[in-house]
Amino acid sequence: MTRATSLQAGTGAPGRASIGVRTLRTDNWWRAPLVTFILLTIWVAYATVRAFSQHAYAATQEHYLSPFTSPCVTASCPAEFRDFGTWFGHFPPFVPLAIVTLPFLLGFRLTCYYYRRTYYRAFWASPPACAVAEPHAKYTGETRFPLILQNLHRYFFLAAGVISLFNTWDVIQAFRPVGHTFGFGLGTIVMLVNATLLWAYTLSCHSCRHIVGGRLRNFSAHPMRYAAWGFVSKLNARHMQLAWTTLATLMLTDGYIALVSSGAFNDPRIVH
Ligand code: FES
């Protein structure tokens, strides 16, 4: 494929069948991009407010830390949550406490093959659906800035793996409430489910599948990699579902911790 190619797009492009309407589809093709647009907008609005608010992100007694604030490495965080040290001084208001990881998480999700498909359709209408002409006059694919940066996905995947380790650490800490060597509550379960699904989403990544099983002439000489590739492939088949489920569990986990942290809800303790 020639790089930096600019093609005319839509039904008016040379060589395309000339039809007088935008699409011949008669089903509700607009429903999926519309629902995606609404859900992603709600999620981004929620995550932006929560990540920038510096409010109710940690329940000290229960040792719960919001995934939007992990790892907490600034002097603004309570000392109990600075397990990885204090890398920065106090942050002014409205600066995300997880500034170290948020750009990488954002990059990972934005460059994800599945999300690309969804937001290209829902936000840019490029195209809005199969067999529906896009409104743009030109098409350059992902060959130019900024979309050429989508190629960084494999590196964001590696960063996301490291960040999943931080999430796992937070769950371990949630089994160690203040004053007890072991204990857990409903919030610990919520955090555990969230971290498990985040691992599943991360490992289901197409880049992960390529790293695990790619560049091999045959699998028979690499049984371990074949087994790992089989496992990742099974997860990969659920990548779309995991992409949406983890958005929901991230929101749920953060919301739950916000309620406990602000005193609006008492975390039911299962083992003290
Ligand atoms: Fe979706 Fe890598 S393709 S996270």
pLDDT at 248 over 50: yes
- Straight-line distance from the first to the last Cα atom of the chain, in angstroms, rounded to the nearest whole number: 61
pLDDT tens-place string over residues 71-108: 999 999 999 999 999 999 999 999 999 999 999 999 99
Residue 54's nearest CA partner among 70, 69, 37, 36 is 69
Q: 69: buried, middle or exposed (CB in 10 Å: 19+, 13-18, 0-12)? A: buried
Find the 74 Cα to ligand 1 centroid distance in Å: 30
Domain ranges (residues) in the chain: 3-9+27-271
Beta carbon of 156 within 6 Å of any ligand 1 atom: no
For the segment 129-179, what is each residue's pLDDT rounded down to a tens digit? 998 988 888 888 899 999 999 999 999 999 999 999 999 999 999 999 998
Q: Tell me the average pLDDT of the chain.
A: 93
**CB 114 less than 6 A from any atom of ligand 1:** yes
244 lines ligand 1 (CB under 6 A): no
Distance CA 61, CA 252 (A): 20
Pick from 203, 238, 239 the residue to mutate for probing ligand 1's pocket: most ligand atoms within 8 Å of its CB: 239
pLDDT band at 228; cut points 50, 70, 90:
very high
The response to whether residue 111 sits with its C-beta less than 6 Å from ligand 1 reads no
- State the Cα–Cα distance between residues 90 and 74, nearest whole angstrom: 6
Give ∠ CA 68-70-73 in degrees, rounded to 5: 130
Ligand 1: does its nearest atom lie under 6 Å from the Cβ of 206? yes
Ligand 1 site, residue 157, Cβ cutoff 6 A: yes
Name the residue with tokens 């916000």. 258
Nearest in space to 268 (alpha carbons), one of 174, 187, 173, 147: 187
Closest C-alpha residue for ligand 1 atom 1: 112
Pocket test for ligand 1, best of 151, 153, 154, 236 (most atoms within 8 A of CB): 153
**Would you say residue 7 has pLDDT above 80?**
no
pLDDT of residue 184: 97
The string of DSSP codes covering 54-95 is --S-EETTTTEE-GGG-S--BTTS-GGG-TT---B-PPPTTS
Ligand 1 pocket, residue 166 CB under 6 Å: no
Atom of ligand 1 nearest to the CA of 157: 2
Q: Rounded distance, CA 54 to CA 68, Å?
A: 10
- 105: Cβ below 6 Å to ligand 1? no
Q: What is the pLDDT of residue 6?
A: 62
Is the pLDDT higher at 21 or at 264? 264
Does residue 229 have its Cβ closer than 6 Å to ligand 1?
Answer: no
* Model pLDDT for residues 36-71, shown as the tens digit of each residue: 999 999 999 999 999 999 999 999 999 999 999 999
pTM value?
0.92
Ligand 1 pocket member 253 (CB < 6 A): no
pLDDT band at 2 (very low <50, low <70, confident <90, very high): very low
| Torsion from C-alpha of 175, 180, 183, 188, nearest 10 degrees | -40
Angle at CA 141, nearest 5°, toward 237 and 30?
A: 65
Say what the pLDDT of residue 16 is: 74
Residue 1 has pLDDT above 50, yes or no: no
Q: Which atom of ligand 1 lies nearest, measured to the CA of 115? A: 1
| C-alpha atoms less than 13 angstroms from C-alpha of 103 in its C-beta half-sphere | 5
Ligand 1 centroid–CA 208 distance in Å is 8
pLDDT bucket at 264, cuts 50 / 70 / 90: very high
Pairing, β 58-59 against β 269-271: unpaired
Reported as a single tens digit per residue, the pLDDT across 187-220 is: 999 999 999 999 999 999 999 999 999 988 899 9
Average pLDDT over residues 243-269: 98
